A and B are shown apart, each in its own frame.
Chain A
Amino acid sequence: MSDQPASPVPSAPQPVMSTPRRLDIEITARCNLRCRYCYFFDNPAVPYRDLDTATWLRFFDELGACQVMDVCISGGEPFLRPDLPELLAGIVRNRMRFNLVSNGALIDDAKAAAVAATRRCNYVQISVDGSCADTHDVCRGPGSFAGALRGIRTLQRHGIPVAARVTIHRHNVRDLPAVARLLLDELEVPAFSTNAASELGSFARHADQIAMTVADRELAMRSLVELKERYGGRITANAGPLADAEYWARMETARRQGAPAFSDGGRLSACGCVFEKIAVRADGAIVPCSMLAHLELGRIGRDRLAEVWRSAPELVRLRARQAIPLQRFAGCRDCAYAPYCTGNCPGLAYSLTGEIDRPSPDACLRLFLEAGGAIDGRAARISPGAEVAE
């Protein structure tokens, strides 16, 4: 009758839960902005249309029956939906908690009060890419920095936990210390996460203006590692320069020490999401995640979520991807990092190579080094489980 805190998803080979624990829901395909690296728009496989309130509410009832714990409501821009309070009430009625992902600009007192009144909001995540309008608005459009800050302050006034997300690109890579000061010291946001503008959605149309060079990536890694030394767990990353810096430092340390293979190394194990959560597009298509938005597994209102979760062939295949050895791929076969490498994000693998069952070149340490990049041993000190490189 153990009552230990709920454990994270166990390491591979992973059993599959009877239903997903969490869902990512793109509640609307509309947005007040058109960010130049938006992962959501400009995906030719996605029909950008919204579902009505009743359809979502019926789906939330199904989620309640599936004992789903948390939903992440994104878009598009979720605060564009006039029925948002009604939708949140449906989430609460079904005994779930939620977080919202927003650009912040549309959050006024009335909307913030409606979110606060639910008492089930984990946090609202606001995108902040710069310490000033110059670096933020360059990719998100004029006025968007002011909107984001206004949104954060409004949420804070209503006692709603705020998280920030910093997407790193060529134009803000030198601004990161100032971004950290703004968010963590001045606005007193508890923490922010980082990622990189990456090869999805609208990015391709603007890659020449946005994509980071190898030198930019090095700078971003160095800068974030230094900032993390100063601010500790208040800066996090699941992908992008900080995640790369930390994981690559572990890989490099292990390689130098001739350490045994990591338990999840040497195979395409990078993404555990398919064992824990699933996503729904604004048009009702059930997909493995927003990064694999083309991969329709079913449709809400037509297919039962539990059934899709357990047996949609594409999802079963994605889970089995974890067993695919890196030795199968020419570039990895003689790579000294292979025993420590997890093959990286399948969504980016698909976007960059057209295939899911491949390592993603985006977070390939070998390619980064071959392109002239260098990694920073200090990341090993802040990366759990790693020895100091050198």
Chain B
Amino acid sequence: MKLGDRPLANPDVVLREEYDDWAVLFDPETANAVGINPVGVFIWRLLDGRNSVEQIAARVADGFDEVPGSAPEEVRAFVERLAAGGFVGFAATGATP
């Protein structure tokens, strides 16, 4: 996955908010579930197939304090792990207006 890729949340996946902005992503098709923290929830809401990983990392930097320079790589790794679990796919190239 490249920083320019535009990830898209699997529409079947449920974002279940639990405590203090922490949440669980739950895929009812596979029963896979992962816990995510408030930054993860913020990222999840941007996985609409229009934002690139790079743009998402920039939004994280704007939205949170003390974001390290490694944020784009961390966001990429996070999205990659979600993709491996079937929570995320990628918009086809040229799909954005």
Contacts and interface: CB of A to CB of B under 8 A. Distances in A.
Interface of A: 1-7, 15, 17-19, 21, 67, 69, 92, 95-97, 119-120, 122
Contact of A6 (B29, B35, B78, B82): B35
B37 A69 contact: no
A3 B82 contact: yes
Contact of A18 (B17, B26, B31, B40): B17
Nearest to B16: A67
Interface string B67-83: 00000001100100110
Nearest to B60: A1
B91 interface: no
SS of A interface (majority): loop
A21 B33 CA distance: 12
Contacts of A19: 16
Contact of A17 (B19, B39, B40, B74): B19
A2 B36 contact: yes
Given A2-B36, A3-B40, A6-B33, A120 B16 contact: no
Residues of B in contact with A, size category: 20 to 34
A2 B28 contact: no
Interface string B35-78: 11101100100000000000000000000000000000011001
7 contacts: A1-B36, A3-B35, A67-B14, A67-B16, A67-B26, A69-B16, A95-B12
A122 B26 CA distance: 14
A1 B37 contact: yes
Contacts of A122: 31
Nearest to A120: B28
B54 to A, nearest CB: 16
Q: Which 10 A-B residue pairs are closest in the complex by CB-CB distance? A: A1-B40, A67-B16, A6-B33, A3-B34, A1-B39, A1-B78, A6-B24, A6-B35, A17-B18, A15-B19
Given A1-B43, A6-B24, A69-B14, 13 more contacts: A1-B37, A1-B40, A2-B35, A2-B40, A3-B35, A5-B33, A6-B34, A6-B35, A18-B18, A67-B15, A92-B28, A97-B31, A122-B31
Nearest to B41: A1
A95 B36 contact: no
A99 B45 CA distance: 30
Nearest to B11: A95
Contacts of B78: 1, 3
Contacts of A2: 35-37, 40
Nearest to B15: A67
Nearest to B81: A3
Contacts of A119: 29
A3 B19 CA distance: 15
B34 A4 contact: yes
Most chain A CB inside 10 Å of its own CB: which residue of B15, B24, B74: B24
B37 A5 contact: no
Most chain A CB inside 10 Å of its own CB: which residue of B12, B35, B39, B85: B35
A5 B19 CA distance: 15
A140 to B, nearest CB: 31
Nearest to B43: A1
Contacts of B12: 95
Nearest to B22: A2
